[in-house]
Amino acid sequence: MLIPEGLLSHISAYRNLIQELNDLFSECKTATEQRELAEQLFMDENVMKQKMTPWSFSLFSTLPDFMRLQLVKEQEMNGEVNLSQIETEKLLAHFVAKELEKRKQKGIYNGTFSPVTHFFGYQGRAAHPSLFDCSLASTMGFGAAALLEAGMTGQAVSVKELTNNATEWRVGGVPILALLRSQPKAGYKRHELVVPS
Protein backbone atom coordinates (compact mmCIF):
# COMPACT_ATOMS: atom_id res chain seq x y z
CA MET A 1 0.00 0.00 0.00
CA LEU A 2 1.44 3.38 -0.97
CA ILE A 3 0.49 6.38 1.15
CA PRO A 4 1.15 9.89 -0.16
CA GLU A 5 3.27 12.24 1.91
CA GLY A 6 1.10 14.85 3.58
CA LEU A 7 -2.02 12.64 3.58
CA LEU A 8 -3.06 13.95 7.01
CA SER A 9 -3.29 17.50 5.68
CA HIS A 10 -6.09 16.31 3.36
CA ILE A 11 -8.24 14.83 6.14
CA SER A 12 -10.31 17.66 7.60
CA ALA A 13 -9.96 16.76 11.30
CA TYR A 14 -6.18 16.40 11.01
CA ARG A 15 -5.93 19.50 8.81
CA ASN A 16 -7.68 21.52 11.56
CA LEU A 17 -5.41 20.05 14.24
CA ILE A 18 -2.29 20.82 12.19
CA GLN A 19 -3.49 24.39 11.55
CA GLU A 20 -4.13 24.91 15.26
CA LEU A 21 -0.65 23.62 16.09
CA ASN A 22 0.85 25.86 13.39
CA ASP A 23 -0.98 28.85 14.89
CA LEU A 24 0.22 28.00 18.41
CA PHE A 25 3.84 27.60 17.36
CA SER A 26 3.74 30.76 15.21
CA GLU A 27 3.25 32.75 18.42
CA CYS A 28 6.59 31.52 19.80
CA LYS A 29 9.37 34.07 19.48
CA THR A 30 12.35 31.79 20.17
CA ALA A 31 13.39 28.17 19.73
CA THR A 32 13.29 27.83 23.51
CA GLU A 33 9.63 28.89 23.57
CA GLN A 34 8.91 26.35 20.83
CA ARG A 35 10.57 23.55 22.84
CA GLU A 36 8.70 24.52 26.00
CA LEU A 37 5.37 24.62 24.17
CA ALA A 38 6.07 21.24 22.57
CA GLU A 39 6.81 19.69 25.97
CA GLN A 40 3.69 21.22 27.51
CA LEU A 41 1.46 20.02 24.68
CA PHE A 42 2.94 16.53 24.85
CA MET A 43 3.01 16.10 28.62
CA ASP A 44 0.29 18.29 30.14
CA GLU A 45 -3.33 17.45 29.35
CA ASN A 46 -4.52 20.70 30.95
CA VAL A 47 -2.36 22.76 28.58
CA MET A 48 -3.73 20.75 25.66
CA LYS A 49 -7.32 21.44 26.73
CA GLN A 50 -6.61 25.11 27.30
CA LYS A 51 -4.83 25.78 24.01
CA MET A 52 -6.81 23.55 21.62
CA THR A 53 -10.40 23.51 20.48
CA PRO A 54 -12.41 20.58 21.89
CA TRP A 55 -12.36 18.82 18.51
CA SER A 56 -8.59 19.06 18.10
CA PHE A 57 -7.97 18.14 21.74
CA SER A 58 -10.15 15.06 21.34
CA LEU A 59 -8.28 13.95 18.21
CA PHE A 60 -4.84 14.79 19.63
CA SER A 61 -5.48 12.87 22.85
CA THR A 62 -6.48 9.71 20.94
CA LEU A 63 -3.24 9.62 18.97
CA PRO A 64 -0.44 7.28 20.03
CA ASP A 65 2.48 8.93 21.83
CA PHE A 66 4.86 8.66 18.87
CA MET A 67 2.44 10.62 16.65
CA ARG A 68 1.67 13.28 19.24
CA LEU A 69 5.40 13.77 19.77
CA GLN A 70 6.04 14.12 16.03
CA LEU A 71 3.25 16.66 15.63
CA VAL A 72 4.67 18.93 18.33
CA LYS A 73 8.42 18.33 17.88
CA GLU A 74 8.81 18.26 14.09
CA GLN A 75 8.52 21.88 13.00
CA GLU A 76 9.96 23.55 9.95
CA MET A 77 11.98 26.76 10.30
CA ASN A 78 8.79 28.86 10.23
CA GLY A 79 7.19 26.86 13.06
CA GLU A 80 4.80 24.83 10.92
CA VAL A 81 4.37 21.09 11.40
CA ASN A 82 6.82 19.34 9.09
CA LEU A 83 4.47 16.95 7.28
CA SER A 84 7.31 15.14 5.51
CA GLN A 85 8.62 13.99 8.92
CA ILE A 86 5.26 12.70 10.17
CA GLU A 87 5.16 8.90 10.01
CA THR A 88 1.67 8.57 8.58
CA GLU A 89 2.34 4.98 7.56
CA LYS A 90 2.99 3.98 11.18
CA LEU A 91 -0.13 5.80 12.34
CA LEU A 92 -2.28 3.89 9.84
CA ALA A 93 -0.63 0.60 10.84
CA HIS A 94 -1.33 1.44 14.50
CA PHE A 95 -5.03 2.05 13.86
CA VAL A 96 -5.39 -1.05 11.68
CA ALA A 97 -3.79 -3.14 14.45
CA LYS A 98 -6.23 -1.70 17.01
CA GLU A 99 -9.22 -2.40 14.75
CA LEU A 100 -8.07 -5.97 14.07
CA GLU A 101 -7.59 -6.55 17.81
CA LYS A 102 -11.21 -5.44 18.40
CA ARG A 103 -12.38 -7.82 15.68
CA LYS A 104 -10.31 -10.65 17.16
CA GLN A 105 -11.97 -10.09 20.56
CA LYS A 106 -15.40 -10.26 18.86
CA GLY A 107 -14.37 -13.48 17.11
CA ILE A 108 -14.74 -12.11 13.58
CA TYR A 109 -10.99 -12.08 12.81
CA ASN A 110 -8.38 -14.70 13.59
CA GLY A 111 -5.41 -13.71 11.46
CA THR A 112 -2.18 -11.98 12.31
CA PHE A 113 -1.09 -8.48 11.39
CA SER A 114 2.61 -7.66 11.17
CA PRO A 115 3.02 -4.45 9.17
CA VAL A 116 6.37 -3.47 7.76
CA THR A 117 6.48 0.23 6.97
CA HIS A 118 9.04 2.26 5.08
CA PHE A 119 9.31 5.90 4.12
CA PHE A 120 10.63 6.13 0.59
CA GLY A 121 11.38 9.86 0.66
CA TYR A 122 14.23 10.57 -1.69
CA GLN A 123 14.41 6.95 -2.86
CA GLY A 124 10.92 7.30 -4.32
CA ARG A 125 11.78 10.59 -5.97
CA ALA A 126 15.03 9.25 -7.41
CA ALA A 127 13.74 5.92 -8.74
CA HIS A 128 13.81 5.05 -12.41
CA PRO A 129 10.66 6.31 -14.11
CA SER A 130 8.11 3.71 -15.15
CA LEU A 131 6.65 3.55 -18.67
CA PHE A 132 3.59 5.38 -17.29
CA ASP A 133 5.82 8.14 -15.84
CA CYS A 134 7.59 8.57 -19.18
CA SER A 135 4.34 8.62 -21.15
CA LEU A 136 2.74 11.15 -18.81
CA ALA A 137 5.81 13.42 -18.82
CA SER A 138 6.00 13.33 -22.63
CA THR A 139 2.28 14.02 -22.92
CA MET A 140 2.46 16.95 -20.51
CA GLY A 141 5.48 18.39 -22.31
CA PHE A 142 3.74 18.07 -25.66
CA GLY A 143 0.58 19.62 -24.17
CA ALA A 144 2.58 22.57 -22.78
CA ALA A 145 4.22 23.14 -26.18
CA ALA A 146 0.85 22.97 -27.94
CA LEU A 147 -0.67 25.50 -25.52
CA LEU A 148 2.27 27.88 -25.98
CA GLU A 149 2.14 27.53 -29.76
CA ALA A 150 -1.54 28.46 -29.64
CA GLY A 151 -0.68 31.57 -27.58
CA MET A 152 -2.42 30.24 -24.46
CA THR A 153 -0.21 31.31 -21.57
CA GLY A 154 -1.15 31.19 -17.90
CA GLN A 155 -2.39 27.61 -18.36
CA ALA A 156 -1.56 24.37 -16.57
CA VAL A 157 -1.58 21.21 -18.67
CA SER A 158 -4.39 18.84 -17.77
CA VAL A 159 -4.34 15.14 -18.66
CA LYS A 160 -7.52 13.16 -18.03
CA GLU A 161 -8.62 9.55 -18.50
CA LEU A 162 -5.25 8.32 -17.18
CA THR A 163 -6.61 4.86 -16.43
CA ASN A 164 -7.16 4.31 -20.16
CA ASN A 165 -4.47 3.57 -22.73
CA ALA A 166 -2.21 6.56 -23.44
CA THR A 167 -3.77 6.89 -26.91
CA GLU A 168 -7.11 7.65 -25.22
CA TRP A 169 -5.86 10.30 -22.79
CA ARG A 170 -7.52 13.71 -23.01
CA VAL A 171 -5.03 16.57 -22.97
CA GLY A 172 -6.00 20.18 -22.37
CA GLY A 173 -5.28 23.32 -20.41
CA VAL A 174 -6.70 24.78 -17.22
CA PRO A 175 -6.23 28.47 -16.36
CA ILE A 176 -3.87 28.71 -13.40
CA LEU A 177 -6.17 31.30 -11.82
CA ALA A 178 -8.89 28.63 -11.61
CA LEU A 179 -6.58 26.48 -9.48
CA LEU A 180 -5.65 29.17 -6.95
CA ARG A 181 -7.07 29.16 -3.43
CA SER A 182 -6.60 31.64 -0.61
CA GLN A 183 -5.30 30.12 2.58
CA PRO A 184 -3.83 31.50 5.80
CA LYS A 185 -0.06 31.75 5.90
CA ALA A 186 1.15 30.19 9.13
CA GLY A 187 3.08 32.53 11.33
CA TYR A 188 1.58 35.58 9.64
CA LYS A 189 -1.85 37.11 9.99
CA ARG A 190 -2.42 37.23 6.24
CA HIS A 191 -3.55 34.99 3.42
CA GLU A 192 -1.60 33.85 0.39
CA LEU A 193 -2.67 32.41 -2.94
CA VAL A 194 -1.62 28.80 -3.45
CA VAL A 195 -2.39 25.91 -5.76
CA PRO A 196 -3.33 23.19 -3.24
CA SER A 197 -1.96 19.70 -3.76
pLDDT digits (tens, 9 = 90+) for 87-143: 999 999 999 999 999 999 999 999 999 998 888 766 666 678 889 999 999 999 999
Q: Is the pLDDT of residue 153 over 60?
A: yes
∠ Cα 12 14 19 (to 5°): 95
The C-alpha torsion from 127 through 129 and 131 to 135, rounded to 10°, is 160
Q: How many CA atoms lie within 13 A of 112 on its CB side?
A: 2
| Cβ atoms 71, 80 nearer than 8 A | no
Q: What is the mean pLDDT of residues 5-25?
A: 89
How far is it, in rounded angstroms, from Cα 163 to Cα 169?
8
Q: Is the pLDDT of residue 78 over 80?
A: no
pLDDT in tens, 27-68: 888 888 888 988 999 988 898 999 999 999 999 999 999 999
What spatial distance separates the first Cα and last Cα of the chain, rounded to whole Å? 20
pLDDT at residue 68 in the model: 92
